[in-house]
Structure 1
Amino acid sequence: MSRPIKWRKICCMPLNKTFAPSGSKPQGKITMTIDEYETIRLMDLENCTQETCAMAMNVARTTVQKIYEEARYKLADALINGKELSIEGGEFRLCDGHNQNCVRASCRLLQRGELLQNK
């Protein structure tokens, strides 16, 4: 019997899902999963540690490390080799705003009830 899938929590879907070099034809296509995108967002943009990222995504730190390495390789391949980068798919569940380990300010405000009061 196979192991059940452990869904990775992500805070938000990417606003832009396709990136391609301008001025020339892409030299191929790479697909980054949404959970790979989330590790890049959390660790590189939000400056989270692997441990904090793992808590936010509800997975083990070693899993985050593996996802992050794959994401960074794909990103580098697209940038260096002029390939189109598409962000889609993966094993994830969208955050409902009530994740206690979420690093996004909007989720923390929703947990305290402040986001609804400010609208």
Structure 2
Amino acid sequence: MPRPFCCRRINGSPAAAIFKPVGIPVRELEEVLMTLDEFEAVRLADLEGLYQEQAAEQMKVSRPTFSRIIDSAHRKMADAVVHGKALRIEGGPVRMEGRRCCRLHDGAQK
């Protein structure tokens, strides 16, 4: 039986849902999808300057899980910036602070 899946805690949504190169309509660009938990990991580690262990604690995930999340987020940001793609931020197994999980809750399985 697979391990129960728990939602990742985030503190809010991004100020903008999409970032793209200037002067190119979004419909003409390839998109890279970053989930809300990846966005939160970037905020905690890179903007707030937290160590991975501290950031993992805030998101209610293990340190190795946080490491996988932040690595994925960094790869996606690099892909968007280096290749001139749009970066869309949405979705993922997250729970806003003070709310229940979007699709799954209380350790329900995927």
**Counterpart position of 1:86:** 88
> 32, 38, 41: which is aligned to 2:40?
38
**Counterpart position of 2:24:** 24
The unaligned stretches of length 5 or more in structure 1 are 98-119
Q: Percent identity over the alignment? A: 41
User: Could you tell me which amino acid in structure 1 is paired with residue 16 of structure 2?
Assistant: N
Comparing both structures, which one devotes a greater share of its residues to helix? 1
User: Could you tell me which amino acid in structure 2 is paired with residue 6 of structure 1?
Assistant: C
- Root-mean-square deviation over aligned CA pairs: 1.5
Three-state SS of the structure 1 residue aligned to 2:68 is helix
**Counterpart position of 1:64:** 66
TM-score of the superposed pair, with normalisation by structure 1: 0.76
How many correspondences in the alignment?
97
* Per-residue deviation, 1:13: 1.0
- Whether 2:97 is the aligned partner of 1:95: answer yes
CA contact (8 A) 1:10 1:94 kept: yes
The unaligned stretches of length 5 or more in structure 2 are 100-110
TM-score of the superposed pair, with normalisation by structure 2: 0.82
**Counterpart position of 1:111:** none
Larger Rg: 1
Equivalents in 1 of 2:24, 2:90: separation in Å? 23
Three-state SS of the structure 2 residue aligned to 1:22 is coil
